[in-house]
């Protein structure tokens, strides 16, 4: 959604760019759904090719909403200090992406707290994503602080000197390029100041929700992996246990055995995935029901309608009227 808003702010058609990157737009509206990281990387690449501004990543600071970051967005805003805000980003970064993580370094001598990015998949992170990440984090911190403030320093691993003036204007502090790490440094005085906007109960509740969500994303959970592959390939109509097994580099017999050990089956996961997505699509009146059937991999509307009535007790037409 942040990239969608950035594209619109530059008068570009986000729907076309998402399509070029192979991303299903409606998936953004499904709670907990995730995009393949390689397709997201392609989306950033296509956006960078389309927008001529080499500093467009900074626009993330004015293109986000807490809901875009799931429960993490609201937990950050309810944090009692900027240190707690950054600690939540480090602890729950997996809510946003499986690509990057961060660490906090406290310097008692210089009385500073530094947020460093740790890269998992790319060295270095593409310039625009690096810009967007630090700009977004600082925007959150400034919103929480509710007063103008500048970090002690900011550094980027990239060497995008053409944007140095824009960086300095936005961060309002010295910016170092071609640095060993991408980082954002705050004074301890600012980092540990109690925030009037803090809400311990709300933040704790969101922490619990995020912990459960990350637990559900655990790589050891085969059912989650299978369901993710099913969702990605549903529109093709060719999803099968053999195709999923092939993508996971196991035999179909082994896959079904491992799923049984988790109390699941391929058929039940396929049915569950279709049901969860169907409920979202049918509520959206922009979609014709025949199109919904196609997106869920059904051969025709009647077959989809029978399945939908089995799931909900309503036909798709009836559910659309009462939902």
> With contact defined as beta carbons under 8 Å apart, do 170 and 61 qualify?
yes
How far is Cα 230 from Cα 270, in angstroms, rounded to an integer?
7
How far is Cα 157 from Cα 36, in angstroms, rounded to an integer?
25
Q: Kindly tell me the burial class for residue 277, based on how many C-beta atoms sit within 10 Å of its own C-beta (0-12, 13-18, 19 or more).
A: buried
Q: What is the pLDDT of residue 119?
A: 67
Phi, psi of 86 (to 5 degrees): -70, -35
pLDDT tens across the length of the chain (323 residues): 999 999 999 999 999 999 999 998 888 877 677 788 888 889 999 999 999 999 999 999 999 998 888 788 888 888 999 999 999 888 887 777 766 678 899 999 999 999 998 766 556 678 999 999 999 999 999 999 988 899 999 999 999 999 999 999 999 999 999 999 899 999 999 999 999 888 877 777 777 777 776 666 665 578 888 888 888 778 777 789 998 888 887 888 989 988 988 888 999 999 988 898 898 889 888 788 998 888 888 888 999 999 999 999 999 999 998 87
How are beta strands 153-155 and 183-187 bridged, if at all? antiparallel
Quick one: which of 143, 142, 145 has its CA closest to 195? 145
> With contact defined as beta carbons under 8 Å apart, do 78 and 197 qualify?
yes
Per-residue CA distances from 279 to 17, 26, 217, 323 (Å): 26, 12, 22, 9
User: What is the helix (H) or strand (E) element at residue 306, kind and residue range?
Assistant: helix 301-312
Q: What is the pLDDT of residue 136?
A: 94
Residue reference for tokens 């626009």? 59
Which CATH number, 1.10.630.10, 3.50.90.10, 3.30.230.10, 1.10.10.60, labels domain 219-322?
A: 1.10.10.60
How far is Cα 221 from Cα 166, in angstroms, rounded to an integer?
44
Tell me the two tokens of residue 135: 């700009």
> With contact defined as beta carbons under 8 Å apart, do 46 and 10 qualify?
no
Distance from chain centroid for Cα 181: 22
Phi, psi of 22 (to 5 degrees): 75, 30
How far is Cα 296 from Cα 277, in angstroms, rounded to an integer?
8
How far is Cα 222 from Cα 313, in angstroms, rounded to an integer?
30
3-class SS of residue 108: coil
Tell me the two tokens of residue 210: 């995020």
Handedness of CA 264, 255, 230, 274 (dihedral sign): negative
Q: What is the pLDDT of residue 117?
A: 84
Alpha-carbon radius of gyration of the chain: 22
How far is Cα 304 from Cα 292, in angstroms, rounded to an integer?
9
Residue 264 CB neighbour total at 10 angstroms: 19
Q: What is the pLDDT of residue 27?
A: 80
Domains of the chain, residue spans? 1-52, 56-213, 219-322
How far is Cα 134 from Cα 137, in angstroms, rounded to an integer?
5
């Amino acid at each position: 959604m942040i990239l969608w808003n950035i594209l619109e702010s530059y008068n570009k058609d986000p729907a076309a760019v998402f399509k070029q990157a192979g991303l299903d737009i409606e998936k953004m509206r499904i709670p907990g759904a995730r995009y393949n990281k390689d397709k997201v990387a392609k989306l950033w690449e296509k956006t960078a090719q389309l927008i001529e501004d080499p500093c467009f990543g900074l626009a993330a600071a004015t293109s986000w909403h807490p809901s875009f970051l799931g429960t993490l967005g609201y937990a950050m805003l309810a944090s009692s200090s900027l240190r707690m805000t950054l600690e939540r980003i480090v602890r729950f970064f997996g809510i946003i992406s499986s690509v990057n993580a961060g660490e906090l370094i406290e310097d008692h001598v210089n009385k500073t707290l530094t947020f460093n990015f740790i890269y998992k998949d790319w060295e270095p992170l593409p310039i625009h994503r690096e810009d967007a990440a630090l700009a977004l984090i600082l925007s959150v911190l400034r919103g929480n602080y509710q007063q103008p403030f500048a970090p002690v320093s900011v550094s980027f691993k990239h060497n995008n000197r053409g944007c140095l003036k824009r960086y300095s204007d936005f961060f309002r502090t010295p910016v170092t390029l071609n640095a060993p790490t991408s980082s954002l440094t705050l004074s301890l005085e600012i980092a540990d100041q109690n925030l009037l906007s803090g809400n311990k109960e709300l933040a704790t509740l969101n922490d619990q929700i995020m912990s459960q969500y990350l637990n559900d994303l655990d790589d050891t959970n085969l059912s989650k992996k299978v369901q993710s592959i099913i969702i990605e390939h549903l529109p093709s109509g060719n999803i099968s246990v053999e195709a999923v097994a092939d993508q996971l580099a196991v035999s179909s017999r082994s896959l079904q055995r491992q799923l049984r050990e988790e109390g699941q089956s391929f058929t039940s996961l396929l049915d569950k995935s279709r049901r969860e997505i169907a409920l979202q699509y049918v509520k959206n009146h922009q979609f014709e029901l025949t199109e919904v059937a196609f997106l869920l991999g059904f051969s025709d509307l009647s077959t989809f309608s029978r399945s939908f009535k089995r799931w909900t007790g309503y036909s798709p037409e009836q559910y659309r009227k009462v939902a």
